[in-house]
């Protein structure tokens, strides 16, 4: 009887070792003096106090997420160096909503088989995202799981830890009627609604991943794999200026559920967000999808960010100052009013 090995079961330890050898150099690009050196070990060390950072009453903020079925588009396109940015963005942007400074990130990667090139590309994307977020890629896990994932499939999950002074936590409780809703543009679809996107593009319209979309001047793959925007620079600008910080009463990350659902989550009792349709320019990708799949406006608004990735609730007297600080592309979307807690759209 022949002797069986781990390789016979679908796990090539030599290829796994090759893949792991590539990762430390990528991770080190994201490290600051706050990452404590550790030879070997089973976890990562991050220094909260010191190294030029001293907190009075720090509170840790955590968030976890994945990339969803956007991964299937990456698999079709055979491009793996961007979805790691999406992974970081989905976790970091959530933590930013509490006014936090991202500290470090952990990733979990599960694949059908050992593939050093694919693993390196995926982790490079995570590294790029961490550099944008100002977070250290402190560690992670790569699992080879033949039999769980079909040929060519993989999945990713991410975990972000940040910090905020207790007195500066943004939980929406300070939002008042009259506060202005300031929207920050998205980079496109971000990482939500891809089950519908894929149904429209590949099943309904029968488009190919490398087919050119004339009205968008890009291929289907390029359009659908545009990375999620990371808003760390926007929130950092507000967080580091005491005057601005006191004038921002809530932040909402616009993901699945669209503007209304996500803004409703940060409205306190007795306050309602009113979003004025037509107050911002909807990027062409959303019109393209709606037309391609004959999707109703109500459904588009419920599923996608429609071109706004982050919303700040701002005291009315400070709108110009905040807008000037965070960028000229910020747009007034509406206001908070007295009413039933939640959010609604006003017709254009």
Residues 6+ apart with CB under 8 A from 314: 179, 180, 181, 182, 247, 248, 249, 322
pTM for the predicted model, two decimal places: 0.96
Cα 144 versus chain centre, distance: 25
pLDDT tens string for the chain (348 positions)?
678 888 888 898 899 888 888 898 999 999 999 999 887 778 999 999 877 889 999 999 999 999 999 999 999 999 999 999 999 999 999 999 999 999 999 999 999 999 999 999 999 999 999 999 999 999 999 999 999 999 999 999 999 999 999 999 999 999 999 999 999 999 999 999 999 999 999 999 999 999 999 999 999 999 999 999 999 999 999 999 999 999 999 999 999 999 999 999 999 999 999 999 999 999 999 999 999 999 999 999 999 999 999 999 999 999 999 999 998 899 999 999 999 999 999 998
Whole-angstrom Cα distance, residue 151 to residue 232? 36
CA Rg value for the chain = 22
Cβ burial of 344 (10 Å; 0-12, 13-18, 19+) is middle
Parts of the chain belonging to CATH 3.90.650.10: 180-346
Read off the tokens for 173: 């409780």
Cα 98 to Cα 232, 240, 272, distances in angstroms: 12, 14, 19
Beta-carbon contacts of 224 under 8 Å, excluding residues fewer than 6 positions away, are: 70, 73, 77, 189, 194, 197, 201
CATH, domain range 7-168: 3.30.1330.10
Distances (CA, A) of 67 to 157, 177, 310: 7, 35, 18
Q: Does residue 88 sit in helix, strand or coil?
A: helix
Say which CATH superfamily domain 180-346 falls into: PurM-like C-terminal domain (3.90.650.10)
For the chain, residues classed under CATH 3.30.1330.10 are: 7-168
């Amino acid at each position: 009887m022949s002797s069986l090995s781990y390789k016979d079961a679908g796990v090539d330890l030599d290829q796994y070792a090759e893949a792991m050898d590539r990762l430390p150099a990528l991770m080190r690009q994201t490290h600051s003096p706050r990452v404590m050196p550790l030879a070997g070990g089973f976890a990562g060390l991050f220094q909260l106090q010191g190294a030029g950072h001293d907190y009075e009453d720090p509170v840790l903020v955590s968030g976890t997420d994945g990339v969803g079925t956007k991964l299937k588009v990456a698999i079709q396109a055979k491009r793996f160096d961007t979805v790691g940015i999406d992974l970081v963005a989905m976790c970091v942007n959530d933590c930013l909503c509490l006014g936090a400074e991202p500290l470090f990130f952990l990733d979990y990667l599960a694949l059908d088989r050992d593939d050093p090139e694919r693993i390196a590309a995926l982790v490079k994307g995570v590294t790029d995202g961490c550099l944008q977020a100002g977070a250290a890629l402190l560690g992670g896990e790569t699992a080879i799981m033949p039999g769980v994932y079909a040929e060519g499939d993989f999945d990713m999950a991410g975990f972000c830890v940040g910090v905020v002074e207790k007195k500066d936590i943004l939980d929406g409780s300070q939002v008042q009627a009259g506060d202005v809703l300031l929207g920050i543009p998205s980079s496109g679809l971000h990482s939500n609604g891809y089950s519908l996107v894929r149904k429209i593009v590949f099943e309904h319209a029968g488009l190919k991943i490398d087919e050119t979309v004339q009205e968008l001047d890009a291929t289907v793959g390029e359009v659908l794999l545009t990375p999620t925007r990371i808003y760390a620079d926007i929130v950092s600008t507000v967080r580091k200026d005491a005057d601005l910080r006191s004038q921002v009463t809530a932040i909402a990350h616009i993901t699945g559920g669209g503007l209304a659902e996500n803004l409703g989550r940060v409205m306190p009792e007795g306050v309602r967000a009113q979003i004025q349709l037509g107050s911002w320019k909807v990027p062409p990708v959303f019109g393209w999808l709606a037309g391609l799949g004959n999707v109703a406006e109500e459904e588009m608004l419920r599923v996608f960010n429609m071109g706004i990735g982050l919303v700040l609730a701002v005291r009315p007297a400070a709108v110009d100052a905040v807008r000037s600080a965070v960028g000229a592309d910020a747009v007034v979307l509406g206001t908070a009013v007295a009413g039933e807690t939640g959010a609604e759209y006003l017709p254009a």
